[in-house]
Amino acid sequence: MSDGVVNQKRNLPLLATRERCAGKTFIVTGANVGLGFEAAKHLAVLGAARVVLGVRTPSKGEIAKADIDAAAGTAGSGVVSVWPLDLESFDSVRAFVRRADQELERIDAVVENAAVALAEREMAEGHVKPVTVNVLSTLLMAVLLVPVMRAKAEKVADGVAPRITLVTSRAGFDDDAHAGWEKVKEDPIKGMDAEDMVPVKTYPLSKVTETIAVRHLAREVLPVEKGGVIINLVCPGLCITQLGRNAPDAFAQRLRKMHDMYGRTAEDGSRTLLHGAMAGVESHGKLLHSCQDGEPDVPDWVNELGAQKNTWEVIARELEAVEPGCVSKML
């Protein structure tokens, strides 16, 4: 068990304020439960003009919307919207971004929180689901949104760069994940898709793949002065959510004990997501956790520039195959 889990802070500061949220538009994916739900509720309570809940199952999203409306007093106001988004489908990602472009006057921050962790090998879009959901669809959405958000920010012209916050996990930094990374780093997509890959190991590997790729994307490919969007990574820590609901029994029992001893509530963990969505240009390409700079906790092997470049290029090729021209349009 890592020291980060045992010693993680609780009762984190709520850095989102009414001044920072009022009149603004936010998108939160995976927003019907857990961290995403709590983050969306905070945004609505703090006076956001629009809060879009990106959810796989709209009926569940409507239940979440009703709860958020009740907490924020926004029922019937149109502040909270439920939009379908299934990250197992590239078409669903494309449709979601098109709708955002067409229907939203501004997009101030996007929190990409949706993810899967599975105990069995399951496929979507020709890849194991953690690759499709946690890496490819998550980054496809970011790549497609950058030019949309940039164009809308130029029209708003308030001088504040919009943000894309990708939720990752420091579970990808532990020794087991590092050993797994060493085996797949030449082509992490192919490596995670391999039939001999243990399914439960794909979650931490997918998260470290995402982290390594985004660091190169943000710092080398798309600095803020070029892309017009702040892109950062947030680890919410060990939180009491439904993420581990598909875990093997032995791991699930261990996870429940860890939750009881060290876990943050979903509401407490959601404050890290809001920190990312409010963070300034200094957060671009960086890891945040516990509502603070998380860079001191990034291992040297994650900072290896050649691995970052290679990982991004592997993913960029996949994205270009899915949506030709998407990377060049982002630039």
pLDDT for the residue numbered 158? 85
Q: What angle do CA 247, 193, 252 make, to 5 degrees?
A: 5
Our answer to whether residue 207 is catalytic in this structure is yes
CA distance 75 to 102: 24
CA distance 234 to 146: 18
Tokens for 302? 């994650």
CATH topology of domain 16-330: Rossmann fold (3.40.50)
CB neighbour list of residue 105: distance below 8 Å, 6 or more residues apart: 25, 152, 155, 156
Supply the pTM of this predicted model: 0.95
CA distance 199 to 37: 27
Active-site residue (options: 169, 206, 283, 290): 169
DSSP 8-state symbol, 35: H
**28 three-state secondary structure:** strand
Tokens for 270? 């959601």
Main-chain phi, psi angles of 263, to 5 degrees? -70, 145
pLDDT for the residue numbered 300? 98
CB neighbour list of residue 249: distance below 8 Å, 6 or more residues apart: none
> Where are the strands (E) in 30-136, listed by range?
50-55, 80-84, 109-112, 123-124, 127-128
Active-site residue (options: 129, 152, 207, 286): 207
DSSP 8-state symbol, 87: T
Nearest to 301 by CA among 187, 208, 192, 227: 208
Tell me the pLDDT tens digit for each residue of 209-249.
999 999 999 999 999 999 999 999 999 999 988 665 666 66
Active-site residue (options: 203, 206, 286, 290): 203
**163 three-state secondary structure:** strand
CB neighbour list of residue 317: distance below 8 Å, 6 or more residues apart: none
CA distance 91 to 88: 9
Q: Which helix (H) or strand (E) covers residue 262, if one does?
A: helix 249-262
pLDDT for the residue numbered 258? 66
pLDDT for the residue numbered 255? 64
Q: Could you list the pLDDT tens digit for every one of the 331 residues in the chain?
A: 555 677 789 999 999 999 999 999 999 999 999 999 999 999 999 999 999 999 999 999 999 999 999 999 999 999 999 999 999 999 999 999 999 999 999 999 999 999 999 999 999 999 999 999 999 999 999 999 999 999 999 999 788 899 999 999 999 999 999 999 999 999 999 999 999 999 999 999 999 999 999 999 999 999 999 999 999 999 999 998 866 566 666 666 676 776 677 789 999 999 999 999 999 999 999 999 999 999 999 999 999 999 999 999 999 999 999 999 999 999 9
Our answer to whether residue 226 is catalytic in this structure is no
Helices (runs of H) and strands (runs of E) counted in the chain: 15, 10
Our answer to whether residue 203 is catalytic in this structure is yes
| Residue reference for tokens 């194991």 | 128
CA distance 308 to 35: 28
Contact 14, 274 (CB under 8 A): yes
For the sheet with 230-235, list strands across it.
80-84, 50-55, 25-29, 109-112, 163-167, 230-235, 287-289, 292-293
DSSP 8-state symbol, 197: S
CA distance 11 to 265: 9
CA distance 231 to 109: 10
DSSP 8-state symbol, 264: B
Contact 212, 307 (CB under 8 A): yes
pLDDT for the residue numbered 157? 79
SS percent in the chain: helix, strand, coil, step 5: 55, 15, 30
pLDDT for the residue numbered 262? 75
